[in-house]
Amino acid sequence: MDEPADGGKVENRMSETLFEQMHAALPKVQLFSQELLSRHTSFRIGGPAQVLVCPKNEAELQAVYAFCQSAGASFRILGGGTNILAPDDGVSGVIVSTRGLDTLELSDAETVTAGAGVPLARLAVFAQQHGLTGLEFAHGIPGTVGGGMYMNAGAYGGELVQVAVSARFLTSDGTILTLTGAEMGLSYRHSAFMDRVGVIVSATFRLREGDPEIIRDRMRELMEKRRASQPLDLPSAGSTFKRPVGGYAAALIQEAGLKGLRVGGAAVSEKHSGFVVNLGGATSADVLELIAQIQARVQASSGIPLEPEIRIW
């Protein structure tokens, strides 16, 4: 008599099949099967990715994209993983990590072009080393150029929209376009890239000449402010909520008496109420339940709705 079907074994066979198909089609591209997303997200939360792929250049990225299209495989883009809440059960299909797209160069005396996988901190330091000002605010922002452009990252009065002049974008038909200025649609925590299917490949920034020492001092000053006010010692995905109309998320959460509120291993930070942190062993379910409780109680106490800034997969 046959043994009962084992759903886990079936799922693993499906994962192996997709992995094997992709490896056969793209033998030079780095692939991982059943890679835990908790290893790739700043929250340290997330189950296995069916296939995680790490293209090293535009050609490999295009080949990966073409494979997913032809195979009918779903895909998601993962940069630094600093703004992602990944599900406990993992993600099916293909996760494309942009970390290998890490070129960084001067296009001219005041223009820097960076691959999507370049950390924003590295970009800011590169600019400082070349005596270019305008990216000091980005030094302490976790994440990569691609993710930063996708959400128009900003801090301490600065945003990428102030310095970004163009971006190369892999479109749904597999071609790479260069979007400039208003075409990128950069606004508060939003961009035109959110409304399109594709992948940010690189971005170009127009900066200004400055004194490297003054730039370095400013970067250090902002980093110290961040360390003093944010729970950088605990896993999180940064600010949990967008800034609402009529207030600040952290203040509203604190006024509702929610500092320290805990669900499982997830908690509202004691240091900064705008952060949900992983105290150890937090699950995606814990974070989602905590977010729901925060939203309900802030709405009840202030009448102001809170919208998550983190990307919930």
DSSP 162-184: GTEEEEEEEETTS-EEEEEGGGG
Q: How much is the pLDDT for 245?
A: 87
Global confidence as pTM: 0.85
Domain 104-214: assigned CATH number? 3.30.465.10
The CATH class that applies to domain 231-312 reads alpha beta
At 244, list the tokens.
């609402």
CA 276, 282, 288, 293 torsion-angle sign: negative
| Residue-level pLDDT, tens digit, the chain, 313 residues | 333 344 444 445 455 699 999 999 999 999 999 999 999 999 999 999 999 999 999 999 999 999 999 999 998 999 999 999 999 999 999 999 999 999 999 989 999 999 999 999 999 999 999 999 999 999 989 899 999 999 999 988 899 999 999 999 999 888 999 999 999 999 988 999 999 989 999 999 999 999 999 999 999 999 999 899 899 999 999 999 999 988 899 999 999 999 999 999 999 999 999 999 999 999 999 999 999 999 999 999 999 999 999 999 9
Residue 76 · residue 105 · CB < 8 Å: no
Q: In the prediction, which pLDDT does 246 show? A: 80
pLDDT of residue 1: 32
What residue spans define the domains of the chain?
7-97, 104-214, 231-312
The rounded distance, in Å, linking the Cα atoms of 311 and 306 is: 14
Instruction: State the catalytic residues.
Output: 189, 239, 309
Q: Which of 191, 80, 188 is nearest to 144 (CA)?
A: 80
Token pair 């992995």 is at which residue? 19
- Count other C-beta atoms under 10 Å from residue 182's C-beta: 8
What single-letter amino acid sits at 307?
A: E
3-state secondary structure of 226: helix
d(CA 202, CA 310): 22
CATH of domain 7-97: 3.30.43.10
pLDDT at 15: 57
Q: What is the pLDDT of residue 14?
A: 52
